[in-house]
Amino acid sequence: MSEKKRYRSAEWYNSKTHKRDTFVHRGWMRNQGHPDHLFDGRPVIGICNTWSELTPCNGHFREISESVKKGVYEAGGFPLEFPVFSASESNLRPTAMLFRNLASMDVEEAIRGNPMDGVVLLMGCDKTTPSLLMGAASVDIPTIGVSGGPMLNGHHKGNTIGSGTGVWQLDADLSAGKITEEDFIEAEISMSRSKGNCMTMGTASTMGSMVEALGMALPHNAAIPAVDARRYSLAHMSGKRIVEMVKENLTMSKVVSKASFENAIKVNGAIGGSTNAVIHLAAIAGRLEIDLTLDDWEKCGKDIPTLVNLQPSGKYLMEDFYYAGGVPAVIKQLLDKKLINKNALTVNGKTIEENNINADCWNKEVIKNFDSPLVKDGGIKILKGNIAPDGAIIKPSAASSELMQHKGKAIVFESIEEFQNKIDDPNLDVDKNSILVLKNCGPRGYPGMAEVGNMRLPKKILKQGIRDMIRISDARMSGTAYGTVILHTCPEAAVKGPLAAVQNGDIIEVDVKNCKLNLNVSNEVIEKRLEAYQPILPEIKGGYQKMYVDHVMQADKGADLDFLVGKRGSEVKRHSH
């Protein structure tokens, strides 16, 4: 042992001074049949698994874990799989986002408290990716990400249908009387016809792409379909690589820098990524003590066209994206235009340039050329003005170009419940030029900041054949949703941000080109209204939700809990037996 490098796990399994502790740590592990030589000081690799039958997008993760294990053993490591809180986007109420921070605490403490020298993060469904990255960042040992991959394309009655995006379309068709209820139900299994996460460029695929752009996973991590043999090969190679990373002591903070986040913002623009990436990247950066603000989105996202023709911005789905060349083919184009910080490091020890400079594009209809993109001015736009002094965001590639500069009369809903009760009221004084405003759905007002910002349009407007109107809120929206939707308005109404001052009939001016969002009401009137405003606050019975509302930060700060920001390292006190 003396010439051998001592890793962190040796404190548990190879103590020279606390023999009884070593007996306990090793002895109990032996009940799983692990032979003696696995405890000889080799790198112990944790496989952090968000497998759950209630998180269907991650339902195949035990199989992925088996491939990771093969790679770890092959490289001379000792893999140990452990479960963590799995936040399911499709099942968990009131919203999976409420539990992202809780899950990150689970991940952080599980990594720090256990004998592991490196960790493989198995991530898929929307919130499982940021929660694992956040938790791991706060510990900062060698870390590699492996995504579970998207489902195969949905096919229904001769059409391809995408996760989420298809639901919003089918729902609008059902409301407009264009399809029957039977058609609607039949589409369920046609949409989700294989293992994997949503196969639109929703939040899951966006975050898988962000993991790749940040340098936290091997190339092609985002797009290989969940059932493709190459997904398992990538998992195997990641298992092999993490053992080397431990030997090189290549920790997460050595891989991910401010330059990596700038690259991720640019890639998000080029892929037409989800608005949720803004919040998640801010939270991950906060854990790594990297200063990332909405101004960075404005600075780095500017002039990045959307190249990837995927739903909800475009036509195709993740399976097509993989066959067309995936994220490497996108990064290659950005590299050619000198838009990427080419020296940013990645988990395989190579730079982002070395990994992607020779990537091929096999289908220019799915991954468009930089000079004839899907949307010229893509990415996420940051709007500021007297309604949103700390910013609000919009995704132009999913919005209607004719609404990018618009003035309209506000139709205000104080809560999501009021919206649901009134939206189809035939007496609602709304027309296609109105602007729907929803309050009290931010991180504090609706704990977890529900994905309700893409409010459905009033039936009477849908019946006129109108499919889009401007909507403004302090909520989020699903990454699979689309429309001219202004989200994450900061500060939120529940903490008396100026969004709270908007009243029915006020005129709102939206100017996406010039990044402006203003209420045509004087500042004095706004202040007076805010003084009198009584936010609708949620009833909290205690437990985790109490901690959440007491400590959650605003959306521009990533909606993390204030006391979780930063790295706390991997040191842990010995517990003597």
- Give the single-character DSSP code of 307: -
Widest pairwise Cα distance in the chain: 82
Residue type, 495: V
The yes or no reply on residue 86 touching ligand FES (CB under 6 A) is no
Q: 91 vs 114, which CB is nearer to ligand FES?
A: 91
Q: 201 vs 344, which CB is nearer to ligand FES?
A: 201
Q: 78 vs 99, which CB is nearer to ligand FES?
A: 99
Q: 92 vs 237, which CB is nearer to ligand FES?
A: 92
- Pattern 205-244, ligand FES, x by CB under 6 A: ----------------------------------------
Instruction: Decide if 206 contacts 235 (C-beta within 8 A).
Output: no
- Provide, rounded to whole angstroms, the least separation between the CB of residue 377 and ligand FES: 27
Give the end-to-end CA distance of the chain in Å, rounded to a whole number.
Answer: 24
- Candidates 38, 73, 82, 90; binder of ligand FES (CB under 6 A) is 90
- Candidates 101, 131, 197, 489; binder of ligand FES (CB under 6 A) is 197
- Candidates 89, 228, 298, 560; binder of ligand FES (CB under 6 A) is 89
- Provide, rounded to whole angstroms, the least separation between the CB of residue 92 and ligand FES: 10
The yes or no reply on residue 204 touching ligand FES (CB under 6 A) is yes
Q: What own/partner pairs with CB < 8 Å and gap ≥ 24 does 34-41 have?
A: 34/78, 38/78, 39/13, 39/14, 39/78, 40/1, 40/14, 41/1, 41/4, 41/6, 41/7, 41/9, 41/10, 41/13, 41/14
Instruction: Decide if 232 contacts 63 (C-beta within 8 A).
Output: yes
The yes or no reply on residue 276 touching ligand FES (CB under 6 A) is no
The yes or no reply on residue 87 touching ligand FES (CB under 6 A) is no
Please state the separation of Cα 56 from the chain's center in Å.
17
Give the side-chain half-sphere CA count within 13 A for 355: 28
- Is 458 in a helix, a strand, or coil? coil
Q: 54 vs 229, which CB is nearer to ligand FES?
A: 54
- Provide, rounded to whole angstroms, the least separation between the CB of residue 197 and ligand FES: 4
- Is 269 in a helix, a strand, or coil? helix
The yes or no reply on residue 163 touching ligand FES (CB under 6 A) is yes
**The pair of three-digit structure tokens given for residue 531, joined into one six-digit string:** 């003084």
d(CA 192, CA 391): 36
- Candidates 81, 106, 117, 126; binder of ligand FES (CB under 6 A) is 126
- Provide, rounded to whole angstroms, the least separation between the CB of residue 393 and ligand FES: 20
- Candidates 202, 373, 491, 497; binder of ligand FES (CB under 6 A) is 202
d(CA 252, CA 244): 14
- Give the single-character DSSP code of 55: S
Choose the binding region for ligand FES from 181-189, 196-204, 211-219, 328-336 (rule: CB under 6 A): 196-204
State phi, psi for 407 to the nearest 5 degrees: -125, 130
Find the binding residues for ligand FES in span 529-558 (CB under 6 A). Answer: none
Task: With CB under 6 A as the rule, give the number of residues binding ligand FES.
Answer: 10
Find the binding residues for ligand FES in span 51-70 (CB under 6 A). Answer: 57
d(CA 208, CA 297): 19
Residues forming contacts to ligand FES in the complex (CB under 6 A) are 57, 89-90, 125-126, 163, 197-198, 202, 204
